[in-house]
Amino acid sequence: MSTKKIDSQMLDKILEKMVTTVDHSKGEIFKIGEETRKQYTSLTEELKDIKEKVLNVINEGDKLEVYARFARNRLSEVSGDFNKFSEIEIRDAYEKAHKLQMDLTIIREKEKQLRERRDELERRLLGLQETIQRAEHLVGQISVVLNYLTSDMRQVGEMLEDAKQKQDFGFRIIEAQEEERRRLSREIHDGPAQMLANVMMRSQLIDRVFREKGNEDGFKEIRDLRKMVHSALYEVRRIIYDLRPMALDDLGLIPTLKKYLSTIEEYNGETKISFANIGPEKRLPTKFEVALFRLVQEAVSNSLKHSGASHIQVKLEIGRGHVTVVIKDNGKGFDPSVKPQQSFGIIGMKERVELLEGEITIDSKKGAGAIVMIQVPLNQ
- The residue type found at 307 is S
Same domain, 183 and 282: no
Residue 353 CB neighbour total at 10 angstroms: 19
Considering the domain boundaries, does residue 281 fall inside one?
A: yes
Question: In terms of domains, do 103 and 182 share one?
Answer: no
Q: Are 177 and 129 contained in the same domain?
A: no
Q: Tell me, yes or no, whether 151 and 171 share the same domain.
A: no
Q: So what's the pLDDT on residue 338?
A: 66
132 with 177, same domain: the answer is no
Above pLDDT 90, what percent of the chain? 7
Q: Residue 34's domain is classified under what CATH number?
A: 1.10.287.950
The single-letter code of the amino acid at 358 is: G
327 pLDDT tier (thresholds 50, 70, 90): very high
Contact 325, 373 (CB under 8 A): yes
> Which residue segment(s) compose the domain that 135 sits in?
1-155
Evaluate whether residue 148 is within a structural domain. Answer: yes
Same domain for 217 and 150 = no
Last residue of a domain, one of 108, 127, 155: 155
Q: Tell me: do 72 and 214 sit in the same domain.
A: no
- Where a domain ends, among 155, 172, 202? 155
* 134-150 per-position pLDDT tens digit: 877 887 777 777 776 66
Domain check: are 82 and 206 in the same one?
no
Residue 297 lies in a domain: yes
170 lies in the same domain as 59? no
Please state which of the ranges 177-181, 255-259, 342-346 shows the lowest mean pLDDT.
342-346
- What end-to-end distance do the CA atoms of the chain give, in Å? 44
Mean pLDDT of the chain: 77
Asked if residue 201 and residue 272 are part of one domain, the reply reads no
Give the 3-state secondary structure of 61-108: HHHHHHHHHHHHHHHHHHHHCCCCCCHHHHHHHHHHHHHHHHHHHHHH
Tell me if 322 is assigned to some domain: yes
Question: For 188-222, what is each residue's pLDDT tens digit?
Answer: 666 666 777 777 776 777 777 777 777 777 777 77
Find out whether 152 and 170 touch, Cβ atoms under 8 Å.
Answer: yes
Tens digit of each residue's pLDDT (9 = 90 or more) over 69-109: 888 887 777 776 767 777 787 788 788 888 888 888 888 89
Q: Is residue 248 part of a domain?
A: no
Cα separation values, 60 from 49, 67, 74, 107, 349, Å: 16, 11, 21, 8, 64
Residue among 217, 311, 224 at smallest CA distance from 272 = 311
In a domain, 80, yes or no: yes
Q: Which of 121, 129, 116 has the alpha carbon at shortest distance from 57?
A: 116
**Shared-domain flag, residues 210 and 287:** no
Distances (CA, A) of 128 to 43, 48, 111, 194, 216: 10, 16, 25, 19, 42
User: CB under 8 Å, gap of 24 or more: what pairs does 347-354 form?
Assistant: 347/172, 348/172, 348/176, 348/298, 349/295, 349/298, 349/299, 349/374, 352/291, 352/294, 352/295, 353/291, 353/295
**Residue 256's closest CA among 214, 290, 212?**
290
- Structural domain contains residue 126: yes
pLDDT at 2: 39
The total domain count for the chain is 3
Domain boundary among 215, 243, 271: 243
317: phi > 0 → left, psi -120 to 50 → alpha, else beta; which?
A: beta
Residue pair 327/343 in contact by the 8 Å Cβ criterion = no
Same domain for 104 and 5: yes
CA distance 315 to 41: 51
Q: Which amino acid is at 368?
A: A
46: Cβ contacts below 8 Å, ≥ 6 apart: 121
What are 267-324's pLDDT values in tens digits? 777 889 999 998 888 888 888 888 888 899 888 888 888 888 889 999 999 888 889 9
